[in-house]
């Protein structure tokens, strides 16, 4: 199976910016936090295929274009995005796995075994590129970096450890799913 990581470049802000200080990433976290996590993947796992898309906020044309050149029976998408970190979250949770389509949870748990107790598994999540890939019939899951203080502003912030965990989860999922085929991983959601 081919693993394609789909990470959008957000264009909501006229002057997006972010800064890094004392292990905290603050500013336009949607989706600079996801892009930063993918920079870590590119540095530590150069064989992982990462595609940066655009227009996620309006029509999702970037991911639609990417899907045109992909095959439902051969390609799996891992979408990278951000989510709102509720004040009720366990501080040990570094990311979510959500918007899961055509993948049994047991496979995600097996792939992410080294990160057990660091993530929250949510079958559904907010609207994202994962919904487009799902609606087009692709196998997909989404990894989200949790952001504090709001997603769509310049005051959001996330921890470096959360972005690192998303990069590590991306690597683990790609390594686990690459040698498999889609028929092996799909079935009843448990």
Choice among 54-58, 117-121, 137-141, 170-174 with the minimum mean pLDDT: 54-58
- Residue 190: pLDDT band by 50, 70, 90 thresholds? very low
Choice among 9-18, 45-54, 174-183 with the minimum mean pLDDT: 9-18
Q: What is the mean pLDDT of residues 162-175?
A: 97
- Domain membership flag for residue 170: yes
CB-based contact 78:147 (threshold 8 Å)? no
pLDDT at residue 17, rounded to an integer: 82
Long-range contacts for 44-48 (Cβ within 8 Å, ≥24 apart)? 44/167, 44/171, 45/170, 45/171, 45/174, 48/3, 48/5, 48/170, 48/171, 48/174
Choice among 27-31, 99-103, 185-189 with the minimum mean pLDDT: 185-189
- Domain membership flag for residue 16: yes
- Domain membership flag for residue 166: yes
pLDDT at residue 57, rounded to an integer: 83
State the pTM of this model. 0.94
More confident residue, 43 or 112: 112
- Residue 107: pLDDT band by 50, 70, 90 thresholds? very high
Q: What is the pLDDT of residues 64-89, one digit of tens each?
A: 999 999 999 999 999 999 999 987 78
Domain count, the chain: 1
Q: What is the mean pLDDT of residues 95-109?
A: 96
The CATH number linked to 176 is 3.40.630.10
- Burial of 176 by CB count in 10 Å (0-12 exposed, 13-18 middle, 19+ buried)? middle
- Domain membership flag for residue 190: no
Boundaries of domain holding 30: 2-185
pLDDT at residue 45, rounded to an integer: 87
Record the tokens describing residue 38, joined without a space: 């993918």
Record the tokens describing residue 74, joined without a space: 């051969």
- Domain membership flag for residue 120: yes
For 87, which DSSP code? T
- Residue 13: pLDDT band by 50, 70, 90 thresholds? low
């Amino acid at each position: 199976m081919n693993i394609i990581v789909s990470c959008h470049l957000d264009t909501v802000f006229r002057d997006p910016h972010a800064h890094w200080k004392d292990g905290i990433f603050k500013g336009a976290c949607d989706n600079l936090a996801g892009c930063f996590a993918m920079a870590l993947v590119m540095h530590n796992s150069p064989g992982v295929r990462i595609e940066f898309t655009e227009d996620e906020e309006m029509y999702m044309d970037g991911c639609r274009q990417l899907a045109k050149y992909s095959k439902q029976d051969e390609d799996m998408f891992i979408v990278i995005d951000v989510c709102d970190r509720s004040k009720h979250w366990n501080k040990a949770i570094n990311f979510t796995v959500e918007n899961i389509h055509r993948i049994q949870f047991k496979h995600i748990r097996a792939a992410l075994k080294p990160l057990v107790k660091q993530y929250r598994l949510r079958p559904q999540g907010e609207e994202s590129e994962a919904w487009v890939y799902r609606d087009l019939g692709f196998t997909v899951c989404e990894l989200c970096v949790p952001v504090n203080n709001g997603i769509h502003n310049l005051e959001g912030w996330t921890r470096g450890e959360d972005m690192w965990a998303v990069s590590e989860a991306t690597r683990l999922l790609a390594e686990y799913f690459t040698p498999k085929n889609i028929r092996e991983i799909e079935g009843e959601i448990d």
